[in-house]
């Protein structure tokens, strides 16, 4: 975790300015490196495809008219789901790699410092801020503590869960001798009846839908209300503090 006091923030801005040769006057810190940004958008697209196709796979589509041999719509929907699943998985693996190779902020979504008292005080402040009790938001270079909490549990863990359960379900189609089954077959020791696995995979979808709602709303809201760039930061990589 980085120190979040105003002095430290100014220092972070200054240090970053020295490194990148930018003016410290603008109050800009380089937070999201290019690979993180690229991953973010590819990941977002994959989740969009996975969510939509997943919903259709789960509930079925309106019956196609005409000859059976002319249609392969459900097959194509499933193919898109599997394809996007691979994209998501490879992206996630890359993102774990980048947590080690990238800047300190790149690690933030992979842990929560639950053991630090100060972290909890800061979470409490964020809760007060979102409950309209605290008048001023604290500023953070990367995710705020509450965002980090949501990121870790609703995104990182949820996506990992979806990857594992997803590949286990995929292994049902590829068969007992496939590498998917070798790697993920253990999931069926937890849920011997794969119907339960489908049920959990559906619940995972709704967890991620809920996350996306909160994620997009708070990103836009904080961009406007707390006088720092959020939305443009995931495009340019830079966080600007506007006062």
Partner 1 sequence: MGGAAETFYGVIRRQGITRRSFHKFCSLTATSLGLGPLAARQIANALETKPRVPVIWMHGLECTCCSESFIRSAHPLVKDVVLSMISLDYDALIMAAAGHQAEAILEETRAKYKGEYVLAVEGNPPLNEGGMFCIDGGKPFVEKLRAMAEDSMAIIAWGTCASWGCVQAAKPNPTGATPIDKVITNKPIIKVPGCPPIAEVMTALVTFITTFGKLPELDRQGRPKMFYSQRIHDKCYRRPHFDAGQFVEVWDDESARKGYCLYKMGCKGPTTYNACSAVRWNGGVSFPIQSGHGCFGCSEDGFWDKGSFYDRLTTIKQFGIEANADQIGMAAAGAVGLAVAAHAAVTAVKRLTLNRAE
Tell me the C-alpha distance between 96 and 86, whole Å.
15
User: Cα Rg for the chain, rounded, in angstroms?
Assistant: 21
* Binding status of residue 172 toward partner 1 by CB under 8 A: yes
- Any contact of residue 75 with partner 1 (CB under 8 A)? yes
Q: Is 63 in the site for partner 1 (CB under 8 A)?
A: yes
CB 165 within 8 A of CB 201: yes
DSSP string, 123-154: HHHHHHHHTT-SSS----SS--HHHHHHIIII
- Indicate the burial class of 171 (C-beta count within 10 angstroms; 0-12, 13-18, 19 or more): buried
Nearer to partner 1 (CB atom), residue 54 or residue 91:
54
Query: At a CB cut-off of 8 Å and minimum separation 6, what does 132 contact?
Result: none
Q: Which is nearer to partner 1, 52 or 99 (CB)?
A: 52
173 binds partner 1 (CB under 8 A): yes
Q: Is 113 in the site for partner 1 (CB under 8 A)?
A: no
Does the footprint of partner 1 cover residue 72 (CB under 8 A)? yes
- Residue 198 engages partner 1 in binding (rule: CB under 8 A): yes
Taking CB under 8 A as the criterion, the residue among 2, 8, 11, 73 binding partner 1 is 73
Q: Interface with partner 1 by CB under 8 A: which residues?
A: 58-64, 68-75, 77, 130, 132, 172-173, 175-176, 185, 188-189, 192-200, 202-203, 205-207, 209-210, 213-214, 217, 221, 224-225
């Amino acid at each position: 975790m980085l120190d979040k006091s105003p002095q430290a923030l100014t220092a972070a801005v200054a240090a970053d300015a020295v490194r990148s040769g930018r003016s410290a006057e603008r109050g800009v810190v380089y937070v999201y490196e290019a690979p993180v940004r690229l991953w973010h958008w590819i990941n977002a697209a994959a989740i969009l495809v996975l969510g939509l196709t997943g919903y259709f796979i789960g509930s079925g589509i309106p019956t196609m008219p005409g000859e059976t041999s002319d249609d392969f719509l459900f097959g194509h929907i499933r193919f898109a789901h599997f394809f996007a699943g691979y994209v998501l998985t490879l992206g996630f693996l890359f993102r774990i790699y980048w947590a080690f190779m990238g800047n300190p902020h790149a690690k933030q979504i992979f842990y929560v410092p639950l053991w630090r008292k100060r972290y909890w005080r800061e979470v409490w402040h964020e809760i007060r801020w979102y409950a309209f009790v605290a008048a001023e938001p604290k500023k953070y270079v990367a995710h705020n503590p509450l965002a980090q909490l949501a990121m870790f549990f609703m995104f990182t863990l949820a996506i990992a869960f979806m990857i594992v359960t997803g590949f286990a379900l995929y292994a049902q189609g590829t068969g007992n001798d496939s590498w998917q089954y070798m790697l993920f077959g253990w999931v069926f020791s937890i849920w011997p009846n794969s119907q339960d696995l489908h049920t959990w995979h559906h619940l995972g979808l709704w967890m991620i839908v809920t996350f996306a709602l909160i994620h997009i709303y708070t990103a836009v809201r904080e961009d406007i209300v707390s006088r720092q760039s959020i939305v443009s930061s995931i495009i340019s990589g830079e966080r600007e503090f506007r006062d």
